[in-house]
Amino acid sequence: MRRLEMVLSRLAWFVPTMAGLIVIVFLISNVIPTDPVRIMAGENATQEQVEALRVKLGYDKPLAVQLLRHFQDVLSGNLGTSIYTQRPISEDLFKRLPATLELSIAAITVAILLGIPLGVVSALKRNAWIDQVLRVLSVSGLAFAAFWLAMELQFLFSMTLRIAPLNGRISGFGPDPVTGFMTIDSLIQGDWESLRSALAHLCLPALTLALPAAATIVRFSRAGVLEVINSNHVLYQRAMGIPSRLIVWKYVLRNALISTVTQIGLIFGVLLTNAVVVETVFDWPGLGSFAVQSILQSDHKAIIGFTIWTGGLIVAINLLVDIAHSLIDPRGAR
């Protein structure tokens, strides 16, 4: 019962958080002392043209009225029309969402497969040379500019060694879109050639995004394991003569996993941050490259739409992580 209550209260927070996000994005784009209408009208527009556009777009109304209209628009899914594609922005974002999700999920999988074992080894061999090496690597993993790493990987694997595709999601037309996930769609349709191509195209961008995330996971899982190893219950088990290997496999690993799962929301945030620039380098048709194209076009409405969608995505993921955590870990229910 208490868990249900807890899950419900977390769910209830989703609404005010999203409302707050919409307000903040609105204020940022309106309180800042520039004239969005002036920018939209272009440098050569006359004062009359600017004023006409202002009335047309509703920017002449009081701020509160504008905010209310903005709310109505966002809630009805109407984010305006993209200057770049001439299509509704929500439609564009929805079409591009699977590409970003596919890339992020691939990256997080790689990061977890790399990060957790290395973090556990690092903790078990605390202060040995391997721990020192991993410490240096995990600090450096967070010091790269993601877009630079992306370019250097392209340079090395695509341009020089020619063993990975340079950019894009797939060669040729690819499978018929069902879910929008290239890998899943080719699996469903039994199109092995497309699957191979989709996986090959995923390699470099996923690796670029996975490296900083893996560095973060190494640190969390190392700390998680150290905390458990030093805890009284492990001390007790040792005293009872339970073999070390059993303790590690049964208790320590599970706790390292839990401490990583609780950070997935945070790691996902880092991932999306990097995705914005990495998608651009790899011409990956996801949300991030949409945002960058919108910047280049000074497409104000599209950027607001992107901000709201990304914010919503992260808030939703954090919510799911919170709920999952409260279900796994009884202490979380309080």
Give the shortest CB-146-to-other proteins separation in angstroms.
Answer: 7
Rounded Cα–Cα distance for residues 115 and 220 (Å): 9
Among 52, 124, 200, 295, binds other proteins (CB under 8 A): 295
Rounded Cα–Cα distance for residues 91 and 110 (Å): 30
Stretch that binds other proteins, among 45-53, 84-92, 109-117, 300-308 (CB under 8 A): 300-308
Stretch that binds other proteins, among 42-50, 80-88, 106-114, 289-297 (CB under 8 A): 289-297
Rounded Cα–Cα distance for residues 199 and 182 (Å): 9
- Tokens encoding 17: 């958080």
Stretch that binds other proteins, among 71-79, 80-88, 109-117, 136-144 (CB under 8 A): 136-144
Q: Is the separation of the CB atoms in 237 and 252 below 8 Å?
A: no
Among 121, 307, 323, 324, binds other proteins (CB under 8 A): 307
**Distances in whole angstroms, Cα of residue 245 to Cα of each of 33, 131, 228, 248, 325:** 63, 19, 14, 5, 26
Our CB check for other proteins shows the closer of 43 and 48 to be: 43
Q: Counting contacts by CB under 8 A, is residue 296 touching other proteins?
A: yes
Give the shortest CB-36-to-other proteins separation in angstroms.
Answer: 7
Pick out residues in 13-72 that bind other proteins (CB under 8 A). 16-17, 20-21, 24-25, 28-29, 32, 34, 36, 39
Alpha helices in the chain (DSSP H): 2-31, 36-41, 47-57, 63-75, 89-124, 129-141, 146-153, 182-188, 192-229, 232-239, 244-247, 253-261, 264-281, 287-296, 300-328
- Tokens encoding 212: 């900083």
Name the 3-class secondary structure at 178: coil
- Best CA proximity match to 276, nearest among 177, 146, 185: 146
Stretch that binds other proteins, among 47-55, 77-85, 134-142, 249-257 (CB under 8 A): 134-142
Per-position DSSP letters for 85-108, written without gaps between them: TSSBHHHHHHHHHHHHHHHHHHHH
Pick out residues in 257-276 that bind other proteins (CB under 8 A). 269-270, 272-273, 276
Give the shortest CB-159-to-other proteins separation in angstroms.
Answer: 4
Number of residues that bind other proteins (CB under 8 A): 56
Give the shortest CB-199-to-other proteins separation in angstroms.
Answer: 24
Q: Counting contacts by CB under 8 A, is residue 145 touching other proteins?
A: yes
Per-position DSSP letters for 31-94, written without gaps between them: HSSS-HHHHHH-TT--HHHHHHHHHHHTTTS-HHHHHHHHHHHHHTT---B-TTTSSBHHHHHH
Q: Counting contacts by CB under 8 A, is residue 281 touching other proteins?
A: yes
Among 310, 321, 322, 326, binds other proteins (CB under 8 A): 310
Q: Counting contacts by CB under 8 A, is residue 291 touching other proteins?
A: yes
Our CB check for other proteins shows the closer of 59 and 187 to be: 59
Give the shortest CB-266-to-other proteins separation in angstroms.
Answer: 10
- Tokens encoding 103: 């890339």
Q: Counting contacts by CB under 8 A, is residue 251 touching other proteins?
A: no
- Best CA proximity match to 268, nearest among 109, 38, 85: 109
| x-or-dash string of contact with other proteins, 155-174, rule CB under 8 A | x---xx--------------
Q: Using CB under 8 A as the criterion, which residues of the chain lie in contact with other proteins when the complex forms? A: 16-17, 20-21, 24-25, 28-29, 32, 34, 36, 39, 126-127, 135, 139-140, 142-148, 151-152, 154-155, 159-160, 226, 229-230, 269-270, 272-273, 276-277, 280-281, 291-292, 295-296, 298, 300, 303-304, 306-307, 310-311, 314-315, 318
